[in-house]
Amino acid sequence: MHHTATARDKTTFVAVDRYHRDKWWFKSSLGFYIGYQYFIDAAGIVTQGRVDADVGAHTIGYNDKSLGICLAGNFDVEYPSSVQVVALTRLLKNKSSQYGIPPEKIMPHRAFANKNCYGKNLADDWARHLIASPNNVPALSEISALALSPNGTRKQELLALLEKALQITKQMA
């Protein structure tokens, strides 16, 4: 697990992909250069940069035996957005059940390197606790369906759902 260590609401997949291209030029089978398998932006959009079986470029010594997930943000000074946490939770649950990954194997980058990554504001066990979170975390598809409702007719429902996601996030923090 990583953070970009750059401003959460301004950091895009494209920018990180470009940064890693210039740094390493290590192309994934999907044609991207970003070192992570999955990137989650502030809006909770998950973009896959490498297929799970691709070698990553994110954690020295573990790139051929781990999945790299990166959240946009500098969690030394800010926090993940609630929709980002919802998206991460779903991804972690999916991948954990797909590969039988135990929670204790969900680790911050700093467990393997002399870095703060994924940010001082997030405890070492923060991400692994997400997969133990209740299944009532709103699905991102649920949120986007409400957000896209005509003329904001379902705005109240959307706000209620986001509030719920925020409460769950606070409980998990």
Rounded Cα distance, 81 and 165, in Å: 10
One residue of 20, 50, 109, 128 binding Zn ion per CB under 5 A: 109
One residue of 42, 88, 91, 117 binding Zn ion per CB under 5 A: 117
In the bound state with Zn ion, the residue whose beta carbon lies nearer, of 2 and 20, is 2
20 binds Zn ion (CB under 5 A): no
57 binds Zn ion (CB under 5 A): no
Q: How many residues bind Zn ion (CB under 5 A)?
A: 3
Indicate the helix (H) or strand (E) that contains 48.
Answer: strand 46-48
Q: Determine phi and psi for 91, rounding to 5 degrees.
A: -65, -45
In the bound state with Zn ion, the residue whose beta carbon lies nearer, of 79 and 142, is 79
In the bound state with Zn ion, the residue whose beta carbon lies nearer, of 44 and 119, is 119
Least Cβ distance, residue 117 to Zn ion (angstroms)? 3
2 binds Zn ion (CB under 5 A): yes
DSSP-derived letter for residue 152 is G
Least Cβ distance, residue 97 to Zn ion (angstroms)? 24
The two most distant CA atoms of the chain are separated, in Å, by: 51
Q: What angle do CA 158, 161, 164 make, to 5 degrees?
A: 150
In the bound state with Zn ion, the residue whose beta carbon lies nearer, of 50 and 109, is 109
Chain Cα centroid distance, residue 3: 8
Least Cβ distance, residue 99 to Zn ion (angstroms)? 21
Rounded Cα distance, 45 and 64, in Å: 25
Chain Cα centroid distance, residue 9: 13
**List of residues contacting Zn ion (CB under 5 A):** 2, 109, 117
